[in-house]
């Protein structure tokens, strides 16, 4: 598949001056649509428009906002087939993988719709000292007025609307810039919000590449970015110019540890699904597997059999497939490079190992063994249907290798439960699944975010909505005379009074309370 013509700049992140994005179906290579690029002036106009509507959106309160998002949920559920068709057309996903997108959105609308009051409702705080007994302390959470979301191509709806939903529930207006590879599905839902749901004018999208994304960073009050750490750095640097806060969900190189004593059928099936689901194009895909020596041979044989049996290609109801296409030609080249680098350095492909024949852009589901940490496939994010397996002496070596990464997004440990749990607590990353893979993303109650270079900030749970808010503390005087003891005039009696009271309440023994040495 070619990327970029005179008219397009697909794949050249940051390129300016493109007039239209050429969208292709990765499963066939066919151009399916041309989408006009929004220049910076149009981004500014869009942000200004939703900004004007935001105060009223905030004023209708949590119940009012859930009413509208509930209507969006119903539209999503009623139009599932249409959404899946578009997802498949622009990403080349198989239908089973595409089905996660509307399902997640409906779930996350209900999650934040029913918990927003608990997470961002006004809080009362008890004064920590008797000196403030006359004060009422409150914290209210007010939204950043406009949140800008910049999203990648691997889950075009989950990684854009999935963040827009808590931002909207918080009372913010939202403008999303989807990936240039997958602009269609999001535009369809945003259009439905406007025309079919009839929602307030607080949700829109702008289309383009780096220039459009940069313009969005310049004009919003909070940036939610999901993408590569390379672009994440650029976004953060740009946001620094306007001191705009950012939340970054970046890449991963997720390890899986298989301990002796694990259910090896479950572990191998999980590794195959966790590594190949969405063609391995998930930030949390299983990419590196460390297996304790006694379990190694049997685990590898089971994994190779499971992956070897996967059916790849463009699927339909009559002929369902397990593994779809590579969505971005750039990523497809990276996957091929990592595998070739490993094979040249002595790794062996037990299954797959190369690009599949066209039409469309496919990489064969691949299992590599005889790998080590000098190879790109064990160090850099591959983001394709490739899992690499290493034999280790024991759990200590597995942990040392699992933690030997600049990434720290998530991971998994398989084994007898108590031992696996002990090992899981020592993996250096934002979330660990014990005897499962990827499932933490669907556990909306627990936060998810990267350690090290996998990101800054959290998604899901209470932090996943609170980050879209600014806290405002209210210190309210319930009663008081004409003056506080600390105010003027500093008479002889008053000048030391506050200090003496502070001493009295903070000293932990009687003598010190009265200024005496013990």
Residues with active-site annotation:
249, 283
Q: Which residue, among 320, 412, 326, 404, has the nearest Cα to 366 in the 3D structure?
A: 326
How far is it, in rounded angstroms, from Cα 457 to Cα 127? 29
Does residue number 242 form part of the binding site for ligand NAD (CB under 6 A)? Answer: no
Site for ligand NAD in 470-499 (CB under 6 A): none
Does residue number 97 form part of the binding site for ligand NAD (CB under 6 A)? Answer: no
Does residue number 163 form part of the binding site for ligand NAD (CB under 6 A)? Answer: no
Options 251, 324, 411, 464; binder of ligand NAD; rule CB under 6 A: 251
Number of residues that bind ligand NAD (CB under 6 A): 32
Burial class (CB in 10 A: 0-12, 13-18, 19+), 196: middle
Residues 6+ apart with CB under 8 A from 69: 109, 112, 113, 165, 168, 169
Question: In the complex with ligand NAD, which residue's Cβ is closer, 413 or 458?
Answer: 458
3-state SS, residue 419: helix
Q: Which two tokens stand for residue 147?
A: 């949140």
Q: Which two tokens stand for residue 124?
A: 């009362």
- Please tell me the number of Cα atoms within 13 Å of 455 on its side-chain side: 28
Burial class (CB in 10 A: 0-12, 13-18, 19+), 397: middle
Question: In the complex with ligand NAD, which residue's Cβ is closer, 75 or 247?
Answer: 247
Cβ-closest position to ligand NAD: 213
Does residue number 246 form part of the binding site for ligand NAD (CB under 6 A)? Answer: no
Options 113, 152, 166, 447; binder of ligand NAD; rule CB under 6 A: 152
Residue 274, H or E segment: helix 264-276
How far is it, in rounded angstroms, from Cα 271 to Cα 298? 14
How far is it, in rounded angstroms, from Cα 163 to Cα 148? 10
Beta bridge partners of 247: 224
Options 26, 185, 227, 365; binder of ligand NAD; rule CB under 6 A: 227
Does residue number 156 form part of the binding site for ligand NAD (CB under 6 A)? Answer: no
Does residue number 228 form part of the binding site for ligand NAD (CB under 6 A)? Answer: yes
How far is it, in rounded angstroms, from Cα 507 to Cα 210? 58
Least distance CB 105 / ligand NAD (angstroms) = 15
Question: In the complex with ligand NAD, which residue's Cβ is closer, 168 or 205?
Answer: 205
Phi/psi at 257 (5° precision): -110, 130
Residue 262, H or E segment: none
What pairing do the DSSP bridges indicate for beta strands 173-177 and 203-205? parallel
Displacement of CA 76 from its chain's centroid (Å): 21
Cα distances from 364 to residues 279, 355, 437, in angstroms, run 9, 6, 21
Options 274, 381, 411, 438; binder of ligand NAD; rule CB under 6 A: 381
Least distance CB 121 / ligand NAD (angstroms) = 27
Question: In the complex with ligand NAD, which residue's Cβ is closer, 182 or 351?
Answer: 182
Q: Which region among 49-57, 60-68, 175-183, 477-485 touches ligand NAD (by CB under 6 A)?
A: 175-183
Does residue number 442 form part of the binding site for ligand NAD (CB under 6 A)? Answer: no
Q: Which region among 22-30, 93-101, 177-185, 480-488 touches ligand NAD (by CB under 6 A)?
A: 177-185
CB distance 223 to 247 below 8 Å: yes
Does residue number 159 form part of the binding site for ligand NAD (CB under 6 A)? Answer: yes
How far is it, in rounded angstroms, from Cα 72 to Cα 91? 23
What pairing do the DSSP bridges indicate for beta strands 410-414 and 431-434? parallel
Does residue number 214 form part of the binding site for ligand NAD (CB under 6 A)? Answer: yes
Does residue number 343 form part of the binding site for ligand NAD (CB under 6 A)? Answer: no
Least distance CB 342 / ligand NAD (angstroms) = 19
Does residue number 383 form part of the binding site for ligand NAD (CB under 6 A)? Answer: yes
Least distance CB 67 / ligand NAD (angstroms) = 29
Question: In the complex with ligand NAD, which residue's Cβ is closer, 175 or 369?
Answer: 175
Does residue number 209 form part of the binding site for ligand NAD (CB under 6 A)? Answer: yes
Options 9, 73, 93, 177; binder of ligand NAD; rule CB under 6 A: 177
Question: In the complex with ligand NAD, which residue's Cβ is closer, 324 or 415?
Answer: 324
What pairing do the DSSP bridges indicate for beta strands 366-369 and 203-205? unpaired
Does residue number 150 form part of the binding site for ligand NAD (CB under 6 A)? Answer: yes
Does residue number 283 form part of the binding site for ligand NAD (CB under 6 A)? Answer: yes
Beta bridge partners of 455: 249
Q: Which region among 46-54, 56-64, 194-202, 244-252 touches ligand NAD (by CB under 6 A)?
A: 244-252
Binding site for ligand NAD (CB under 6 A): 13-14, 150-154, 159, 177, 179-180, 209-210, 213-214, 226-228, 231, 234-235, 249-252, 283, 328, 381, 383, 409, 450, 455
């Amino acid at each position: 598949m070619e990327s970029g013509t005179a008219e397009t700049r697909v794949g050249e992140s940051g390129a300016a001056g493109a007039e239209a994005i050429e969208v292709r179906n990765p499963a066939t290579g066919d151009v399916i649509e041309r989408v006009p690029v929004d220049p910076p002036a149009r981004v500014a106009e869009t942000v200004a428009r939703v900004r004007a509507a935001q105060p009223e959106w905030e004023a209708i309160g949590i119940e009012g906002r859930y009413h509208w998002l509930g209507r969006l949920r119903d539209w999503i559920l009623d139009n599932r087939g249409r959404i899946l068709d578009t997802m498949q057309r622009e990403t080349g996903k198989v239908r089973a993988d595409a089905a996660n997108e509307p399902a997640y959105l409906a779930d996350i609308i209900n999650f934040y719709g029913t918990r927003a009051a608990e997470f961002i409702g006004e809080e009362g705080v008890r004064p920590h000292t008797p000196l403030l007994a006359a004060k009422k302390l409150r914290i209210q959470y007010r939204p950043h007025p406009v949140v800008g979301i910049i999203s990648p191509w691997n889950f075009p709806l989950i990684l854009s609307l999935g963040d827009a939903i808590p931002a909207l529930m918080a009372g913010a207006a939202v403008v999303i810039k989807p990936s240039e590879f997958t602009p269609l599905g999001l535009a369809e839902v945003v259009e439905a919000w406007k025309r079919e749901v009839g929602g307030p004018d607080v949700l829109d999208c702008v289309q383009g590449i780096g220039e459009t994304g940069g313009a969005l960073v310049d004009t919003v009050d909070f940036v939610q970015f999901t993408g590569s750490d390379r672009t994440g750095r650029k976004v953060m640097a740009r946001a620094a110019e306007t001191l705009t806060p950012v939340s970054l969900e970046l890449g991963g190189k997720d390890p899986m540890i298989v301990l002796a004593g694990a259910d090896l059928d479950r572990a191998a099936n999980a590794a195959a699904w966790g590594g190949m689901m969405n063609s391995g194009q998930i930030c949390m895909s299983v990419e590196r597997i460390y297996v304790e020596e006694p379990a190694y041979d049997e685990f590898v044989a089971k994994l190779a059999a499971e992956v070897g049996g996967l059916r790849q290609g463009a699927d339909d109801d009559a002929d369902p497939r397990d593994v779809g296409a590579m969505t971005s030609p750039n990523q497809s080249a990276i996957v091929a490079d990592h595998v070739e680098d490993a094979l040249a350095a002595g790794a062996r492909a037990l299954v797959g190992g190369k690009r599949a024949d066209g039409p469309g852009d496919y990489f064969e589901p691949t299992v590599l063994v005889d790998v080590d940490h000098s190879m790109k496939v064990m160090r850099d994010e591959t983001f394709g249907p490739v899992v690499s397996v290493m034999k280790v002496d024991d759990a200590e070596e597995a942990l040392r290798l699992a933690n030997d990464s600049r990434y720290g997004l998530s991971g998994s440990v398989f084994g007898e439960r108590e031992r696996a749990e002990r090992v899981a607590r020592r993996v250096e990353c934002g979330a660990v699944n014990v005897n499962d893979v990827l499932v933490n993303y669907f556990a909306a109650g627990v936060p998810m975010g990267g350690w090290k270079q996998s990101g800054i900030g959290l998604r899901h749970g209470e932090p996943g909505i609170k980050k879209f808010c600014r806290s405002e503390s209210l210190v309210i005087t319930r009663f008081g005379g004409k003056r506080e003891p600390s105010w003027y005039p500093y008479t002889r009696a008053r000048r030391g009074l506050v200090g003496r009271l502070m001493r009295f309440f903070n000293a932990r023994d009687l003598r010190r309370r009265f200024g005496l040495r013990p």
